[in-house]
Structure 1
Amino acid sequence: MTKEFINVRGMRDLFDKDLKIKYLIENTARELATSYGYQEISTPIIEYTSVFNKTLGESSDVVLKEMYTFEDEKGRSLTLRPEATAGIARAVVSNGLLGSGEYRIPLKLFLFGPMFRYERPQKGRYRQFNQVNFETFGNSIPEFDFELISLAYNFLKKLNLPTNLVLNSLGDLESRTNYKKELLPFLNKNKDNLSEDSKKRINTNPLRILDSKNKIDIEIIRNAPKMNNYLSQKSMDYYETVKKLLVDNNIQFKEDKNLVRGLDYYKETVFEFKTDKLGNQQDTILGGGRYSGLIKMFGGDNIDGVGWAGGVDRLIEIYNDKKLDPKIITTVFDDEYDQEAYRLVNLLRSTNSNQYIFEIYYDVKKDKQVKRANKIKSDFIIYIENKDEVKIYNKKNNNKSTISDYTTNKIFKILNGN
């Protein structure tokens, strides 16, 4: 096949099993969204480039290296969205959602959709990737930080995915200003040993160096001053309230004093849920925190937000070893009972709740039907050998059941293990 007719590197075709997992993840998130009072939103995958340049930071890796940007016929710069929060904030302001009609403050929104970043593809990281986002706007109290963390915790718990919660505080503006005064001398002292990217950030956004994934930087950063030593009293109290709420609600966490997240708009609480299933570089499957200034950047009021994004593709990778497919039931019959078999399978299919796949093979002798049933790894085989009864063979435990005067209810009881 010529190169023009294969998928673009880092962009995947998804098939049945992956899509089943994707829908399971989305449906789980939707159920929780209802419980927590969130409303769904959908924004375009293309925005004006300024939407991201303004919000993500001119010196961020996303803006400098990873955005898919192009000009339209009128020379306007457009970008495939690399993340969702900026677009959601833009939509909130441009549609006047804050304080309008059906929308209340705090405004609670969630979104599903594809994002695009030009990164090196590897397990759990793709150039087109799907995310689930939850965002709350118009609040400034730590209880909402806790709510978003608990929502994320319950989301992963419902998916039965073991993770570790990691937490930190970036403090308020006063805290970060004081911290930078101590961090800059340390970074300049170690400048010659830092990566090239980090050297460039010393004078533009030194906090971003703490988020470096470069092994050389990581070793140096271990000895850097810690942010928690420079928190204002207000930020310390704020952070302690978040931690107390987590402890009171039995949500375990660890603190990482170097956790800063990758985008420029964060402040106060930041958090990540990590796993060891994807390798060291891709251990974060969900992350977020509190941020400020986004709404104001788009012409709205100067209000806070707090939210998180979960990587659906990474969740799919972790989930792929779980059996999600429906059980396969194959009906086997002699030629003289073909009409009875057709009628029974049609009834079973019409009353099925997507828990089972009912297979039947037409114009094939009984012994070949059995071979095909084995080939597709049927969980059960239903034998029709006369008009008055069926035999059900459970291939997993070798149990055999015979049902006289059978009905679909009686058959489903056997299939369900009752």
Structure 2
Amino acid sequence: MNTVVVTGLGVVAPHGDQPDALFERLMRGESALAPVFPELPKPAVAALASFDESRWFTKLQLAGVDRVSQLAVAAADLAMKDAGAVGELDPERIGVYAGCGMGGAAALETAYRGGGRVPPLTIPAFMPSAPASHVAMRQGVQGPVLTYSVACASSSIAIAEAARAVQRGDVDLAIAGGSEALIVPGVVLAWQAMQTLAAVKPGEESRAVRPFATDRSGFALGEGAAFLVLESAERARRRTARCYAQLAGWGLSCDATHLTKPDAPGQARALRQALKQAGLRPSDIGYCNAHGTATRIGDAVERDALATVWGGDLERLQVSSTKALHGHLLGAAGALEALITVLAVHRRELPPNMHGGATDPACSLDLVPAGGCAAPRLEAAISNSFAFGGTNSVLLFSRA
């Protein structure tokens, strides 16, 4: 079985499209949350990605290409260039593994609100598999091109499945990640109706999301795309590629209990699987990029799952949820947070858990303080993605 390493990073997110600059903004605790759609009955905040589509598309090419696919094409292209892998492979030995939770929201919004005038390319624009297909066409990929739509775990699972394909030798290189662009009025209203979005106080919009805090009230939506280039360590050595980290383990499980209520035993199963595959103990893991949605039940359940697996070693595990700063990217959340976790391992620095204030006793964890911190001994870290539907995905990265 091949050892799987990360050799390329590409991102278009609320904090920009340069991975190191994005990470540094997170370390400074810069929030990308801002008010959106003042016309809605209730105030809302979200984290929008600053994106110039003209860098990747002509006006003619943009016909029928929803924002979710535009972001994916850009992030995947940046990842391939970062890996130095463009144009050197048999196209049949490359795969695209993409997560997308809700597809082209802008295309659907336009169709629903068009007064009967529906653009003829609405269907190919909003289908969840469109981002992966556009990435494949742009990169000339002729191997497996697969989409995973598993709510908030979509892109984390896509990365795990890509790693499995590289490990088995099914592909020589995988472009793995996800994309989401659903900040439109209809989607925001739907999430508000579920009462899962953070309460917004005037003047405190940028601090609305407070993971693990006593006064937490929910998450805010974000948009963006992130992709990792995965290949075998042997292949990376042969071409003298930079290795950011090793994807040493992953775990997948299903709660099988409730469609929206998380379950600590189910999450614990995924955590144990990731550790077992990597051949590591809980004490070997120095950092957890938590799912951390800042919902009342979600944060406490995640803490219980970590406590179940880590036991007495929990106090040695530093934790943060970067959703406080970039929002919840839903189907792309796992990919963005995996990229952040890879950089944490590579740089040996931990991004902060912001806006926490007083920590809820039910969420007692060693939270990374404002300003982040250096982690000179960090050897391995995990990224958690726990989804509606009860699917749990954990990615474990170690030093390359």
Greater RCO, 1 or 2 (C-alpha within 8 Å, sep 6+): 2
- Asked which structure has the greater CA Rg, the reply is 1
* Shorter-chain TM band: under 0.3
